[in-house]
A = this chain, B = another copy of it.
Amino acid sequence: MQELAEYSSLIERKLSEFNFPNTPENLYDPLKYFLKLGGKRLRPVLTLLASEMYGQPLEKSIHAALAVEVFHNFTLIHDDIMDQAPLRRNQETIQVKWNPNIAILSGDVLFVKAYQLLILQEEQHLKELLEVFNRTAIEVCEGQQMDMDFEVRNNVTVEEYIEMIRLKTSVLLGCALEFGAIIADASVQDRMNLYQFGQNIGIAFQIQDDILDLYADPDKFGKQVGGDVIADKKTLLNLKALELSDEVSLGLLVNLKNETDLNKKVERTRIIYDQLNVKAACEVIMEHYYNIALMHLNKINTTESSKSILKQLARYLMTRTV
C-alpha cells in the first residue's frame, strides 16, 4: 500500500537514529544489528494512523509508536531463543550470530528502551499509556507460553488456538491503535473500538498467515510453501483438519508426520486438507474476525474519510499474497 510507505519510512528513519552507546559492544551491537533487519513496521504505523485520524500531527504519537515497534522487536529476540530459530528475515538471529545469553540480555535492554520511549510522551497520558502497555506486554508473554505449551499437547482446540494468537499477536495491534486514541484524547468508546478493530484484524491476519503458509503462490511467497507442515506446527489449518477428519484421513495425517520426503509431505497434506475443505473452513473463521474488526471501525466517531486509510489497510492485510 503506497499510502503507508511514508509512515513506515518515518518509523524506519527514527529507528536508525537511535543513539545506542558503544559499550558494552556485546550488548549494543546486537541491537543495532537487529533493528536494521527491517520489517513491515505495521504496528507503529497503526499508532500514527490512529492519532492522525483525530487530526494529531505525527510528532504527537511518534514516541509511543516507536515504543510499540521496539517492544515487538524485543519479543522477536526472545522468541527466537525459545524457538531456536536460526534466521530472522533471512539473516542470522542474535543467538546464532552472538549467543543465547547475549540475546537474553540485549532483549532485556530493548524492553527497557521501549519504556524509555514511552515516557517521552506527554506526561498527561503517561499513566494510561503505561497501563495499556503493561497489560499488553503480559498478554503477549502469556500467548508465547501457550504457544510453547501447545507444542507438547495433542488436544489443542480451535478455540484455544484462537486465544493463543489473540494474546501472542493481536493484542499488540490493539494496543498500538489504543495508544493513538489515548494520545488524541479520543472518547472511551472510540478507544475501545479502535482496540477491538486492532485485535480482531490481528486474529484475521494471523489466520491469513496460516493459510498462506500452505496456499500461497510459490512464485510470490518468498519463502518455502508448507513450512508449517514440514515443521509439524500447530496452525489453524492443522487443527481444523484434525477437527474435520474421519478416522481414515486422521490416520493418513498422523502417518504423514513421519514422511521424510518433504515435498511429498506438503503435497499429500494439501490433498487431504482439500478433501476436508480445510481452507474454506479457515477462511470462514478469518472472515468472521475481519467482519468484527470492520464493525468496530464503523462505530468510531470520526468522518468516513478519516477512517478510510484504516479500512484500506484492513482490506490490504486480508488480500495480501505474501
Q: Is the interface of A mostly helix, strand, loop or mixed?
A: helix
Task: Return chain B residues, CB-CB under 8 Å to A81.
Answer: 101, 104
The answer to whether A145 has its CB under 8 Å from any CB of chain B is: yes
Give the residues from 75 to 91 in chain A that come closer than 8 angstroms, CB to CB, to chain B: 78, 81-82
Task: Give 1 or 0 for each of A122-150: 1 = CB within 8 Å of chain B CB.
Answer: 01001100110010011001101110110
Chain A interface residue count, CB cutoff 8 Å, equals: 33
The answer to whether A26 has its CB under 8 Å from any CB of chain B is: yes
**Known contacts A115-B115, A127-B126, A131-B119; A105/B144 CB under 8 A:** yes
Name which residue of chain B comes closest to A130, CB basis. Answer: B119
Name which of A5-13, A106-114, A193-201 contacts chain B: A106-114
The answer to whether A251 has its CB under 8 Å from any CB of chain B is: no
Task: Return chain B residues, CB-CB under 8 Å to A146.
Answer: 24
Chain B's nearest CB lies how many Å from the CB of A175?
A: 13
Q: Is the CB of A148 within 8 A of B112?
A: no
Chain B's nearest CB lies how many Å from the CB of A11?
A: 21
**Known contacts A78-B105, A78-B108, A81-B104; A115/B134 CB under 8 A:** yes
Q: A119 to B137: give the CA distance in the assembly, Å.
A: 15
Task: Return chain B residues, CB-CB under 8 Å to A26.
Answer: 145, 148-149
Q: Is the CB of A134 within 8 A of B149?
A: no
Give the residues from 178 to 237 in chain A that come closer than 8 angstroms, CB to CB, to chain B: none
Q: A27 to B138: give the CA distance in the assembly, Å.
A: 10
Q: Is the CB of B145 within 8 A of A27?
A: yes
Give the residues from 272 to 301 in chain A that come closer than 8 angstroms, CB to CB, to chain B: none
6 CB < 8 A contacts A-B: A26-B149, A81-B104, A105-B141, A112-B141, A113-B138, A119-B131
Query: Apart from A78-B105, A112-B137, A126-B127, what are 6 other A-B pairs with CB-CB below 8 Å?
Result: A27-B142, A81-B104, A105-B141, A112-B138, A112-B141, A116-B134
